[in-house]
């Protein structure tokens, strides 16, 4: 029996009505709130998103409030959630919608796809949940459910969207999409799926054929590159440390960090750290290692070797020289540098430093 809309949709929505988790973004179908939640949920677990979402809505309760905020404030609220391009795209989207769309978020997939950082999944999710459009929304959890439901070993994204499209009902399409994702997150799990509790068990082809454990097949991934970085932590007696802002584009764009350089083959980390500050504090001398931080990104792994430096008072760079070079001297009044958004690994270095620098 091939799964179809007349069987799957009612069974899934009935299960969802009875078992749905009480999540803050499900209490209001306001398009802005739906958009924020869907962007936050990209590649991030629900449990991690909940506190960020609640703080975000307190700080930026409306699209206009987000558009009116400065990017540094936005990045600060996002800090720790990772994949910072999502925050930059949300901010850019808010400004575009405020300035050119009268503050109204588009209600079609095509209109949503035209916004920064909004892909096929996010557009389908917002269109269906916020506007009741019968559009598919296939995230990782939905991909697993559909692959097992139709017994697909290595389905392409376009194929899964079309399979999902045949199942999305005109009535409550947003609830259907959320139910599909909820099922994947709680029942149709990657390992040890709870098939006996699944509302779609009667139509699941993989269950019928005994292939649940093999669906979907493992995705091929390239090797993850590994980088050692020497990081210079230059602190003055007054408890101020040199920091530099990352470029406007690329990885961790516009966030602040302690200056660092990739360690060359056979090079001591302290030497790489010294190279990072050579243009502004050429006379700085390494004192000792501060901490070593290992951090995995989605596509690479870094190990940060943070070294404490001191510099002679007479050669310390002046504030205007720092500003001209895109650097700053951050005051350490608490374990975090006030008013500056740092990536997670840099935050850990900051905390190690804060334990040494008197307040």
The catalytic site residues sit at: 38
Residue 231 and residue 349 in contact, taking contact as beta carbons nearer than 8 Å: yes
Mention every residue, 6+ apart, whose C-beta is less than 8 A from residue 153.
147, 214, 215, 216, 217
Quote the DSSP letter at residue 136: -
DSSP 217: P
Q: Are the C-beta atoms of 255 and 345 separated by less than 8 Å? A: no
Would you say 72 and 340 are in contact if contact means Cβ atoms under 8 Å apart? yes
Under DSSP, the state recorded for 355 is: T
Q: Which residues of 231-268 are buried (b: 16+ CB within 10 A; e: fewer)?
A: bbbbbeeebbbbbbbbeeeeebebbbbbbbbebeeeee
Interatomic CA distance for residues 186 and 169, integer angstroms: 22
CB distance 148 to 190 below 8 Å: no
CB–CB of 296/219 below 8 Å? Answer: no
Among 92, 82, 73, smallest CA distance to 49 is for 82
């Amino acid at each position: 029996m091939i799964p179809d809309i007349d069987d799957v949709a009612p069974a899934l929505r009935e299960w969802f009505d009875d078992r749905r988790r009480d999540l803050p973004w499900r209490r209001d179908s306001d398009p802005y709130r739906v958009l924020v939640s869907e962007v936050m949920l990209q590649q991030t677990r629900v449990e991690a998103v909940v506190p960020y979402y609640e703080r975000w809505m307190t700080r930026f309760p409306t699209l206009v409030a987000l558009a009116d905020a400065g990017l540094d404030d936005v990045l600060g609220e996002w800090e720790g959630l990772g994949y910072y391009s999502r925050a930059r795209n949300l901010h850019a989207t808010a400004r575009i919608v405020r300035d050119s769309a009268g503050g109204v978020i588009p209600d079609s997939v095509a209109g949503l796809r035209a916004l920064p950082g909004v892909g096929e999944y996010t557009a389908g999710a917002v269109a269906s949940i916020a506007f009741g459009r019968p559009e598919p929304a296939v995230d990782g959890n939905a991909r697993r459910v559909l692959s097992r439901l139709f017994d697909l070993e290595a389905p392409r994204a376009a194929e899964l969207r079309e399979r999902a499209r045949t199942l999305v009902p005109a009535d409550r399409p947003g609830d259907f999409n959320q139910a599909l994702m909820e099922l994947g997150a709680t029942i149709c799990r990657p390992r040890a799926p709870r098939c006996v509790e699944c509302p779609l068990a009667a139509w699941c082809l993989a269950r019928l054929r005994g292939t649940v454990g093999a669906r979907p097949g493992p995705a091929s991934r390239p090797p993850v590159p590994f980088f050692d970085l020497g990081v210079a932590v230059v602190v003055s007696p007054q408890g101020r440390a040199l920091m530099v802002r990352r470029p406007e584009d690329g990885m961790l764009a516009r966030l602040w960090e302690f200056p660092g350089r990739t360690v060359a083959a056979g090079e001591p980390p302290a030497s790489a750290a010294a190279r990072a500050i050579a243009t502004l504090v050429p006379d700085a001398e390494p004192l000792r290692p501060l901490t070593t931080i290992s951090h995995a990104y989605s596509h690479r792994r870094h190990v940060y070797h943070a070294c404490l430096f001191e510099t002679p008072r007479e050669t310390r760079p002046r504030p205007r020289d720092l500003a001209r070079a895109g650097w700053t001297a951050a005051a350490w009044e608490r374990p975090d540098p006030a008013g500056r958004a740092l990536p997670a690994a840099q935050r850990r270095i900051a905390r190690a430093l804060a334990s040494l620098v008197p307040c």
